[in-house]
Amino acid sequence: MSNRISPVLLLTISPLALIAATPAVAQSAATDPRQPPAPTTAVAAPEEAGATEPDNTIIVTGTRRTDRTIADSPVPIDVLGQEALTSSGLGETNKVLNNLVPSFNFPQPSIADGTDVIRPASLRGLAPDQTLVLVNGKRRHVSSLLNINGTVGRGSTAVDLNNIPALAIDRIEVLRDGASSQYGSDAIAGVINVRLRKSPSGGKAQVSYGKYITQLEDVPELEALTNVGGTAVLDSRDSRILAGTYGASRKIKDGAIFTAGVNVGIPMGSGYINLTGEFRDRDNTNRAGPDVRPNYIRPTSAIDPRELTFNRQNFRFGDPKTRDLNLIANMAAPIGDSGWEFYSFATFAHRKGRSAANWRQQSSVNNRDFSTLTPATSPTNANFTALTPDGFLPEIASVYKDWAAAAGFRGELSGWNVDLSGVYGHNQIDYRTENSLNTSYGRNSPTSFDSGGLRFNQFTANLDVSREFEAGFAKPLSVAFGTEYRRDNFSERPGQVESYAAGPLFIAPVTTTSANCTTLGGVYNAGTGVCSFPGRAAPFGAQGFPGIPAYAKLSKSRSSVAGYVELDTDPLPGFTTTLAGRAEKYSDFGSTVNGKLALRYAIVPALALRGSISTGFRAPSLQQQYFTGFSTNFINGLPVDIVTFPVNSAVSRALGARDLKPEKSVNVSAGVSVNPLQGLTITADYYHIKLKDRIVLTENLGAFGSGTTAQNNAVQAILAANSLSGFGAARFFINGLDTTTEGVDIVGTYRFRAGAIGNWSLSAAFNASNNKIDKRLNNLGPLAQIPGLVLFGRVEGIRFEKGQPKNKVVLSADGTLGKLGITARTTRFGKVVAPGAAAPIANPTSLTDYGPDDLFLAPKWITDLELRFSIDRVQFAAGANNLFDVYPSRRPTGPRPATVGGNYPIDAYYLPYSGFSPFGFNGRFLYGRISVDF
């Protein structure tokens, strides 16, 4: 059966969905973007339709007109008001957007290195870096972090929206349409424009506190291990684990979040300065199951008696501990009586994070003291000596700093509106790996390491010019043009030597003579001429998070220059047209030209058709071109050390890497907007996005799960030839895919005043999206000698096509009853597939068949509820996110079905939920909030 979406069917059912409904979008009142906003109410009364009707909110995203509203936009735009953004206890802007915007996806992975602390989000099923983020209409810089582990957004860099607290935001405009021809690179899926508050007086102070109070689903409490004569015994069902008795599912109270913030407006003559400060302290959560693997070495078949007293809750799996300070300033002031205005805004974020890696068992090779062996002695259980008595849990401590500053002048010059601006943004992350070891240094290893850091800087200068002309059309012709200069810089700072280097307890095999091998103390293989050192095979690099190596030190820059033209008018009453074109030249890969045509036709005032066609592009990020780093991935519970190479390195070239090209897209959308009665709006939009030369990170070449044994051995031989023995796998970036993304967004809102029951806003929103790989661009280069090797294989293909919800429904109600306010929302997250490493049983080389360990996450409904009570200027709120304590499908454990054979991955016992869950896996969160307006 075809997976293609029928827009006709969805348009047919959308009015029926609305009957049950609620808003994915809360609208702010009408606001001229050039003036401070007037006070708004949560819901506009029917008789107040017009200037305060949300559909008449003036928008500034997707057009450079000064009078375009949501209602007459030819492309779909969501406007999220301040009330909607603050009616949550979660304290993170990305989490709030995940609950409000159906096409927005924000999974919350764990044990994913830096991605634990800076989590990427996506729009319309595309990559995080295919959505452009603006602040006050100006391009926002991305994070320096490259997401390289097995999560949604693998291989991408993204803007961290959590740096901008909801208290500082007036509204967020989400343009769900390609806009590269208007804004440049990255705007393939759409644009998120964060509009900062501009109030010249008054303010709000707010304090909230909450905690997860939850009962894990299908994760029972381990009451005791089975004790037979003072010794633990193996489980008869699965001999990889110890037998035990279990009680009810675990009950947990953790993850406390304390947030305190203040926003204040200060008049500056006829201008303003608006300031926001917020402090957030979030404790970690832990949803790990008991680790019932034997932890201690077994020189014989006997089980160590210490197993009975060992703490089985040794993993930490959930949100990391973070402490954030965010400061925002937004100002504008007229320059005398010239009619010109100076404006500026700045953001500052400081975050300290602490997350955990995987537990290193006492019996692990990572905990072995290789100094007790001679170089020629093979390690065995019998000659094992531990470096730590019980094992260890490495921790990754990060210090994150981000700041941006913008300044500009705008006014009128010879009848033209002119805006000249400059924006500088900086992001840096520094890492420490703590409670760890570099096993290759043995007992001389530090336990805490400076693991290096990442930096990204961006400077953008814009000149925007616009004017309206009377051209005999139904509305004046808006003509806008401008130019942009941008310079990006990415750098890596190496960590201390011990964080990445191979110490004296690792010696790579060498090709030499038998006599020399004897002198070196190794073991000689006469058939291959290789001298190996099995007693000097210690893993190297800081366990949990290896440091950035010295040879990765770099500072790379590039620049681009662009020019655009945009025309916008209504040539006939009810007929809106937008035409845009943009040319851009990059210093590192050449030029690109893109265009867009958007149309809207109101057949009658209550019914309009709209659509657009555009081309787009995304430039490869500097991180994708130049990043070098190590990481340790656990595949089926086993550690694999993986190195990521820049595409221009000798090793990458030997593995087949080529210079990256920009991604290119063709976006087509068509929709309808219906207003059958006052206060009721229904919109439905179909989109179809074809992307060529998508930039992806290859499989972990050489590791289990990425190819056959013969293919992996061939890759390992290439690594060894480049002096990289000891690494389990390698990867690099490629233009690896041609893809098609299609889907539909349906949004219905109904706002009304119902006498005694107050003002209410109901809405229903639906998104369905389908990602399809049209072609794998398997340009193997030197790797063509390896038969059947695929650079972007089954695991990454399934993650790409099925790793985000197939559909999403948001139903919400927001209203007031005198002094009482209520927000109720329920969100259905559709099916997700989390691929496992094991190949399909029937056809191991298939790139599309499911494997025995692929996990199918069932659709789930997540319900949020908040109650508010206001007394004068003070508001008290209490609420619950995930009210009914819903968890994603649990990963299966133990033996697979007899028809399949074997066992499920052993890490499913202690990591019970998948990081692909679109709503996380923390359970119910209860909170209270007090806010004071002044």
The whole-chain average pLDDT of the chain stands at 88
Q: Label residue 721 by pLDDT band (50, 70, 90).
A: confident
pLDDT value of position 87: 76
pLDDT value of position 275: 98
Lowest mean pLDDT among 29-33, 41-45, 873-877: 41-45
Can you tell me the mean pLDDT for 121-132? Answer: 90
pLDDT value of position 53: 55
Q: Label residue 533 by pLDDT band (50, 70, 90).
A: very high
CA atoms within 13 A on the CB side of 856: 4
> Is the pLDDT at 386 greater than 70, yes or no?
yes
User: Among the residues of 26-122, which ranges form H helices?
Assistant: 82-86, 93-100
* Phi then psi dihedrals of residue 52, to 5 deg: -100, 0
pLDDT value of position 5: 37
Which helix (H) or strand (E) element contains residue 649? none
> Is the pLDDT at 134 greater than 90, yes or no?
yes
Q: Where are the beta strands (DSSP E) in 678-732?
A: 680-697, 729-731
Q: Label residue 618 by pLDDT band (50, 70, 90).
A: very high
DSSP assignments along 150-194, one per residue: SSTTTT-----GGGS-GGGEEEEEEE-S--HHHH-TTTTSEEEEE
> Is the pLDDT at 114 greater than 80, yes or no?
no
Can you tell me the mean pLDDT for 780-784? Answer: 76
Give the 3-state secondary structure of residue 304. coil
> Is the pLDDT at 629 greater than 90, yes or no?
no
Q: Are residues 495 and 451 in contact, defined by beta-carbon separation less than 8 angstroms? A: yes
> Is the pLDDT at 833 greater than 60, yes or no?
yes
Lowest mean pLDDT among 342-351, 549-558, 761-770, 773-782: 773-782
- 203-225 vs 925-933, strand pairing mode: antiparallel
pLDDT value of position 474: 93
Distance separating alpha carbons of residues 277 and 197, to the nearest angstrom: 13
Please write the tens of the pLDDT for every residue from 205-234: 999 999 999 999 999 999 999 999 999 999
Q: Which two tokens stand for residue 178?
A: 């390609």
Tell me which of 2.10.10.90, 3.40.50.720, 2.40.170.20, 3.90.550.10 is the CATH number of domain 7-503+538-933: 2.40.170.20
pLDDT value of position 720: 75
CA-CA distances (angstroms) from residue 471 to 305, 412, 474, 479, 570? 90, 21, 9, 11, 10
Distance separating alpha carbons of residues 866 and 868, to the nearest angstrom: 7
pLDDT value of position 704: 59
> Is the pLDDT at 528 greater than 80, yes or no?
yes
Distance separating alpha carbons of residues 588 and 219, to the nearest angstrom: 51
Q: Are residues 176 and 192 in contact, defined by beta-carbon separation less than 8 angstroms? A: no
Please write the tens of the pLDDT for every residue from 363-372: 999 999 999 9
DSSP state of 701: B
> Is the pLDDT at 194 greater than 50, yes or no?
yes
* Other residues' Cβ atoms within 10 Å of the Cβ of residue 281: 17
| Residues in contact with 119: Cβ distance below 8 Å, sequence separation at least 6, in sequence order | 94, 106, 107, 108, 109
> Is the pLDDT at 379 greater than 90, yes or no?
yes
DSSP state of 893: -
Token pair 């990170």: residue: 697
Q: Label residue 726 by pLDDT band (50, 70, 90).
A: low
What percentage of the chain carries pLDDT values higher than 90? Answer: 71
Sheet with 530-532, side-by-side order of all strands = 510-511, 530-532, 523-525
Lowest mean pLDDT among 63-67, 106-110, 197-201, 207-211: 63-67
Q: Where are the beta strands (DSSP E) in 176-320?
A: 190-196, 203-225, 227-228, 231-232, 244-268, 271-282
pLDDT value of position 724: 65
Lowest mean pLDDT among 25-34, 82-91, 709-718, 872-881: 25-34
Query: Roughly how many angstroms between the first and final C-alpha of the chain, as a whole number?
Result: 59
DSSP assignments along 64-84, one per residue: --SS-BSTT-SS-EEEEEHHH
Distance separating alpha carbons of residues 710 and 707, to the nearest angstrom: 8
Distance separating alpha carbons of residues 250 and 221, to the nearest angstrom: 5
Please write the tens of the pLDDT for every residue from 437-454: 999 999 999 999 999 999
> Is the pLDDT at 65 greater than 80, yes or no?
no
Q: Which two tokens stand for residue 906?
A: 């052993």
- 203-225 vs 244-268, strand pairing mode: antiparallel
> Is the pLDDT at 572 greater than 50, yes or no?
yes
Lowest mean pLDDT among 1-5, 281-285, 621-625: 1-5
Can you tell me the mean pLDDT for 379-408? Answer: 97
What percentage of the chain carries pLDDT values higher than 70? Answer: 91
Q: Label residue 55 by pLDDT band (50, 70, 90).
A: low
Q: Which two tokens stand for residue 550?
A: 């010295």
pLDDT value of position 723: 65
Please write the tens of the pLDDT for every residue from 7-26: 333 333 333 333 333 333 33
